[in-house]
């Protein structure tokens, strides 16, 4: 999603040339290119698919809507398996229209996990719950903190359900370092993602993520935290940014790889 | 600040006609009208000044900047005393330019409180630390949760330092109800403010607060929480909203009073 402007073949080509060894994919461009063709393209180039984004949106109250959401999540699990990634990122979904009940919405996410985790496990796919920044609590993700994500994950084996640590979403939270330690000790850090926090936020808040080093986040510290917690997996960069998407994708990927090395050391 | 478009005399007149018995004031319009004149106007109309906004911005590293900030906060305490309110709202301030150290910034807030609380206490003014939504952590307020605000307040007597519970800033936080209970038990809820959470956020995020009832917040629940915690003080409405400011202030105040009654019962 960092270089949304690139086609899958362009992305794969640029990753290979830059020595980027893995890539997180999103479902929509994969579906547009064709699932099997995408799997063949990426794996044929020797790239690891680090994660698939995204399942989730599991907060509906209406039974028919819930059924559609669960079916869509099972499809996402299947797609992850075909792509050869063990990690499906879940964004829980926001409040249903007219509802003011965050706790109830989180309970419905828990119920959905009970149905999805046993489906995903035999397919070799872990469900990675991503807490989003609290500014998305109403319209996108009722899971706002790592503590909440861990509470949702805890009834399941860590091989089935874990969490995503995304610096953009958790950097402000002074309870997050302890949650990272607990998540790591339980083997539940399933993904580690980077984007910088920059202001002013754009209208809608979604597409204002900053390039690594442009904002307020101490990435070396967060890397130390997840590594001290035992995480040894890939580190993904996920910049949602309209301005960056409007520019040259290959140049952006090059710059991102350079900044990645700078900010993490 | 809900009806920023009204002059102080217009505001006082509208409050009296609508039966609104108290008003929270901001320093800038008070200074523009004249501090003594404002005090005379508001108190002469029989209105209680529920709070003064705002002191704070105490995170600077530079010694000269810190000194200026402390002097400005002492002035704010003096102004609160003249206005006859016992509550000065403090917004802590964001990260200094170039800093990525939230914990350090919070420590500097704690240091500043040690100097300001003894100044405010003999003047009959309590310092009320307001946690702002985490989306303001970098540029406005490094205190993002009630737990953090309570940790800052706890070294001081509750008559000197407490917290503001503003629904807009804490509604998303599942640890906030327990913090409200602790704050109330300690006598540290110094103000209770309402605004609704509505999306999409405007650019810059600051002026997108919703009218009561338009958004995701269950106000009756929050009122129950603070009252169960022992709070019996005023309930303020604080809508930062460019669109509302562009309209008729008296009509907005009338509508706000009507919605206030509706959402709290």
**Does residue A140 contact residue A91 with C-beta atoms inside 8 Å?**
yes
Mean pLDDT, all residues of chain B: 97
Question: Is some CB atom of chain A closer than 8 A to the CB atom of B201?
Answer: yes
Of the pLDDT bands very low, low, confident and very high (cuts 50, 70, 90), residue A265 is: confident
**DSSP assignment of chain A, as one string?**
-TTTTS-HHHHHHHHHHHT--EEEEEHHHHHHH-HHHHHHHHHHTT-EEEEEEEEE-----SHHHHHHHHHHHHHHHHHHHHHT-SEEEEE-B-PPTT---HHHHHHHHHHHHHHHHHHHGGGT-EEEE-PPPGGGTTTTBS--SHHHHHHHHTTS-TTTEEEEEEHHHHTT-TTHHHHHHHHHHTT-EEEEEE-B--SSPPTTSTTBPBPTTSSS--HHHHHHHHHHTT--S-EEE---BHHHHTS-HHHHHHHHHHHHHHHT-
Tell me: ipTM over 0.95: yes
Nearest CA to B153 among B192, B177, B182, B193? B182
Average the pLDDT over B108-116 and give the result: 98
As to burial, measured by CB atoms within 10 angstroms (0-12 exposed, 13-18 middle, 19+ buried), residue A99 is middle
Chain pair A-B, CB pairs under 8 angstroms: 87
Hey, are the CB atoms on B135 and A201 less than 8 Å from each other? yes
Strands across the sheet with B87-91, in order? Answer: B22-26, B48-56, B87-91, B126-129, B161-166, B189-194, B235-237
Please, what is the end-to-end C-alpha distance for chain B in angstroms? Answer: 24
pLDDT above 90: residue A13: yes
Distance (Å) from the alpha carbon of A81 to chain B's nearest alpha carbon: 34
Rounded mean pLDDT of chain A? 97
* A265 in contact with B, Cβ within 8 Å: no
Q: Is the pLDDT of residue B265 over 90?
A: no
pLDDT at residue A49 is higher than 90? yes
CB atoms closer than 10 angstroms to residue B248: 13
Structure confidence at residue A103 (pLDDT): 98
Contact with chain B for residue A217, Cβ under 8 A: yes
Residues of A in contact with B208 (CB under 8 A): none
Residue B92 has pLDDT above 90, yes or no: yes
Query: Which of B139, B175, B203 has its CB closest to that of A202?
Result: B203
Cα nearest neighbour of A202 on chain B: B203
Q: Is A178 touching B (CB cutoff 8 A)?
A: no
Q: How far is B144 from chain A (nearest CA, A)?
A: 8
Q: Do B199 and A144 touch (CB under 8 A)?
A: no
Hey, what domains does chain B have and what are their CATH numbers?
A: 8-257 (3.20.20.150)
- Contacts B197 to A, Cβ<8 Å: 137-138
Cα–Cα distance measured from residue A156 to residue B158, given in angstroms and rounded to the nearest whole number: 43
Closest approach of chain B CAs to the CA of A174, in angstroms?
8
Cβ contact, residue pair B144, A100, below 8 Å: no
Question: Which residue in chain A is spatially nearest to B100 when comparing CA positions?
Answer: A216
Q: Does B218 touch chain A (CB under 8 A)?
A: yes
Q: What is the pLDDT of residues A209-228, one digit of tens each?
A: 999 999 999 999 999 999 99
State pLDDT tens for residues B93-108: 999 999 999 999 999 9
Interchain proximity A135–B139, CB inside 8 Å:
no
Task: Check whether A200 has a pLDDT greater than 90.
Answer: yes
pLDDT digits (tens, 9 = 90+) for A174-192: 999 999 999 999 999 999 9
Write out chain B residues lying below 8 Å of A134, CB-based: 133-135, 172-173
pLDDT for B63 beyond 90: yes
**B178 at A interface, C-beta within 8 A:** no
Q: What is the mean pLDDT of residues A41-49?
A: 97
- Given a cut of 90, is residue B29 above it in pLDDT? yes
**Is residue A111 over pLDDT 90?**
yes
Q: Identify the band that residue A164 occupies on the pLDDT scale cut at 50, 70 and 90.
A: very high
Q: Which residues of A touch B106 (CB under 8 A)?
A: 174
For residue B85, give both structure tokens.
Answer: 């309110």
Per-residue confidence (pLDDT) for residue B40, from 0 to 100: 98
Is the CB of A30 inside 8 Å of chain B's CB atoms? no
**Are the beta carbons of A139 and B173 separated by less than 8 Å?**
no
Q: Is A172 on the interface with B (CB under 8 A)?
A: yes
Q: pLDDT tens-digit profile of B212-245?
A: 999 999 999 999 999 999 999 999 999 999 999 9
pLDDT at position A77 over 90: yes
Read off the pLDDT of residues B133-191 as tens digits, 9 standing for 90 and up.
999 999 999 999 999 999 999 999 999 999 999 999 999 999 999 999 999 999 999 99
Strand-pair category, B87-91 with A161-166: unpaired
Instruction: Dig out the tokens for B97 from the structure.
Output: 């330019």
Residues of A in contact with B144 (CB under 8 A): 172-173
Alpha-carbon distance of B57 to B153, in angstroms, equals: 16
Of A138, A171, A204, the CB nearest to B197: A138
């Amino acid at each position: 999603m960092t270089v949304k402007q690139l086609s899958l073949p362009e992305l794969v080509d640029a990753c290979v040339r830059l020595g980027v060894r893995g890539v997180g994919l999103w479902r929509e461009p994969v579906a547009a290119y064709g699932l099997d063709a995408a799997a063949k393209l990426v794996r044929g180039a020797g790239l690891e698919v680090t994660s698939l984004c995204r399942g989730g949106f599991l907060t509906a109250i209406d039974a028919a809507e819930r059924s559609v959401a669960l079916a869509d999540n099972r499809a996402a699990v299947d797609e992850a398996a075909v792509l050869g990634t063990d990690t499906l990122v879940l964004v829980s979904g926001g409040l249903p229209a007219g509802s003011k009940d965050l706790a109830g919405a989180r309970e419905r996410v828990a119920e959905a996990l009970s149905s999805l985790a046993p489906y995903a496990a035999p397919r070799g796919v872990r469900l990675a719950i991503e807490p989003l920044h609290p500014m998305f609590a109403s319209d996108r993700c009722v899971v706002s903190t790592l503590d909440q994500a861990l509470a949702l994950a805890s009834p399941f084996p860590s091989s089935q359900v874990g969490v995503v640590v995304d610096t953009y979403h958790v950097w402000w939270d002074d309870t997050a370092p302890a949650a990272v330690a607990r998540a790591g000790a339980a083997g539940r850090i399933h993904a580690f993602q980077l984007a910088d926090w920059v202001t002013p936020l754009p209208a809608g808040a979604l597409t204002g993520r900053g390039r690594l080093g442009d904002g307020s986040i101490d990435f070396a510290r967060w890397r130390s935290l997840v590594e001290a917690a035992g995480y040894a997996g890939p580190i993904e960069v996920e910049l949602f940014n309209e301005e960056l998407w409007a520019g040259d994708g290959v140049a952006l990927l090059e710059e991102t790889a350079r900044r990645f090395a700078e900010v993490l050391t």
